Structure 1
Amino acid sequence: MKKLLFIFLATLTWAANAQNMIAKSATDIAPLLIGEKIPNLTLKSSDNTDVQISDLLKKKKTVLVFYRGGWCPYCNMHLQALAEAEKQVLDLGYQIIAVSPDSAENLKMTAEKDKVKYTLLSDSKGELIKAMGIAFEAPENYKSVINVNSKGMNTSFLPVPSVFVVNPQSDILFEYVSPDFKHRITTELLVSVLKNLK
C-alpha cells in the first residue's frame, strides 16, 4: 500500500512539474487542456506595471494569445489580423490579450507597428508560458534575438504560438496550439469558434 501511495504521489508531482518544464522542442510540449484553469501569475503591462492575469481574465471572456515576439514576422501578421478582427471579437463579448517573452518596452513598439489596441503583456521570465505547458528550448539561432527583445530576461525559451479561449473563471474553453510557428488560427475560424461558444 505504501509503495502504491508513493507511486501515486510521485506521478502527481511529476505531472505538476511537467507543466513548468521547458520542452526540448516545439513538438514535445504538454499544454494545459480544455477544462483546466489558467494559473494566476504576475505579468508586466506595456507601461511596466505588474498585472495579475486573473484580474484581467475575470473582466470578461478572453481570447488569450501567446506569440514569440514582435521580432517574428509571422507573429506580427497574426497580431495585425487579430487587430482587424477585434471589433467582431468585442461584439461577441470577448477581449483580446496577447502575451510574449518580449520586455514591456518592446510591447509598445509592437503595438504601434501592428496597430494593436488590445492588451499586450510581457512574460519575459516565462512563468506563465511555462505554466501553460507551451515553452520549449529555443534553437541556437534565436537565442540572441530573444535575449535582446526580453532585455536579458530570457535567453533560452520560446512559446509555441497558441490561442486559448477562456471564461471569467479562468477555465479554458477552446485552444489552438501549433508547434509549426508558420501556422496560426485564422480570424475567420476564431470568430466562428467564439460564436459557437456563446
Structure 2
Amino acid sequence: MNLVQTLRDLNDRHRAALPARDRADFEDELDRLRMVRLVEEGLGLGDHLPDFSLSDGAGRLWTSQELLDGGPLVLALFRGGWCPYCDLTMAALEEARPAIEALGAQAIGIMPERVEHVAATVERRGIGYLMLSDPANGFARTCGLAYDLSPAHIRIHRDRGRDFPALHGDTHWRLPVPAVFVVAPDARVAFAFADVDPACWPDPEALLTALQALLDTHALSNR
C-alpha cells in the first residue's frame, strides 16, 4: 500500500463531498491547531516517552516499561475506529507489522475509545498488534498531543452521530493528534511524526528505516 497517496486520494474525495460550511469549518480547525503549534510543542524527536498504564480490548493492563523491556516500539496514536483515515493507517501498520517484528520491535496502537470499542475495532480490522485504550485521552494529553474541539468542529461530529465524551469516557470533546513514534528501549524517541491533519501520515517504510538505524546505532555502541 502506498499509504501517503492513498490518504491523499481519500482526503480529496472526502473534502469534495463535504458541504461548503463543513469544509470551511474543518479548514478553520486545522488552521487554529497549527497556529497554537500543538505538534511543535508535543512529544518529539529526542524526548522520552511518558510512562503509561493502559488496557487492551480484553481489559489486560499494559505498562510502557513492560513493553519497552521487550525492545523498541513503533507506537501510533489513532483518533478512533470511526475515522476513515485511521482505518487506512491501522491497516498499513498491520501490513508492516511482520517487518517491524523482524527487526525486534513491537507495534502498538493507542486510541481514546473505551475498551469495548477498542476490542470491536481490533476484530473488525483484523489487527494483530496490541491496541490500547486511552480513556479521556489521558496519555495523549501527557504527550501534549490532544486538543479540545472548537464548537464548529463539535457540530460537524454531532451531525454525524459521534459523541466523543461518551466514546472516550470523558467530560470534554477532545481528540488526539494523529502521530507515530519509534521508541528506543530506554524510552527515547528516535523517530517522531505528528500532524493535525488526519490525512497526513508517513509511509511505513520510514518507520522501518528509523528502526534499522536505531538497531545499527545500538550494534555500533556495543562493539
Fold shared per TM-score above 0.5: yes
Larger proportion of helix: 2
Q: Is the 8 A contact 2:56 2:119 kept in 1?
A: no
Matched, 1:167 2:175: no
TM-score, length basis structure 1? 0.81
Identity %: 29
Q: Is the 8 A contact 1:74 1:182 kept in 2?
A: yes
- 1:181-192 superposed matches below 5 A: 181-192=198-209
* Aligned counterpart, 2:119: 108
Q: Is the 8 A contact 2:190 2:210 kept in 1?
A: no
* Aligned counterpart, 1:177: 194
Aligned counterparts of 1:130 and 1:84: Cα–Cα separation in 2: 28
Q: Residue deviations 1:127-162, cap 9 Å, x none?
A: 210111111112313364323432x33532111100
* Aligned counterpart, 1:89: 100
- 1:12-161 superposed matches below 5 A: 25-27=32-34, 28=36, 29=38, 30-138=41-149, 139-140=153-154, 141-142=156-157, 144-150=162-168, 152-153=169-170, 155-161=172-178
- The 3-state SS of whatever aligns with 1:125 is helix
Aligned counterparts of 2:106 and 2:214: Cα–Cα separation in 1: 14
The unaligned stretches of length 5 or more in structure 2 are 1-30, 216-223
- The 3-state SS of whatever aligns with 1:68 is coil
1:132–1:25 CA distance, 2 compared to 1 (3 A): farther
- The 3-state SS of whatever aligns with 2:117 is helix
TM-score, length basis structure 2? 0.72
Q: Is the 8 A contact 1:58 1:167 kept in 2?
A: no
- CA shift for structure 1 position 52: 1.9
What RMSD, in angstroms, separates the aligned Cα atoms of the two structures?
A: 1.8
- CA shift for structure 1 position 25: 4.7
* Aligned counterpart, 2:22: none
Aligned counterparts of 1:26 and 1:194: Cα–Cα separation in 2: 29
Q: Is the 8 A contact 1:165 1:172 kept in 2?
A: yes
1:154–1:176 CA distance, 2 compared to 1 (3 A): farther
- CA shift for structure 1 position 42: 2.1
1:176–1:36 CA distance, 2 compared to 1 (3 A): same
1:157–1:86 CA distance, 2 compared to 1 (3 A): same
Kindly provide the amino acid, as one letter, of the partner of residue 201 in structure 2: R
Q: Is the 8 A contact 2:97 2:107 kept in 1?
A: yes
- CA shift for structure 1 position 191: 1.9
The unaligned stretches of length 5 or more in structure 1 are 1-23
Kindly provide the amino acid, as one letter, of the partner of residue 170 in structure 2: M
**Number of aligned pairs?**
174
Task: Judge which range, 94-103 or 27-36, deviates more.
Answer: 27-36
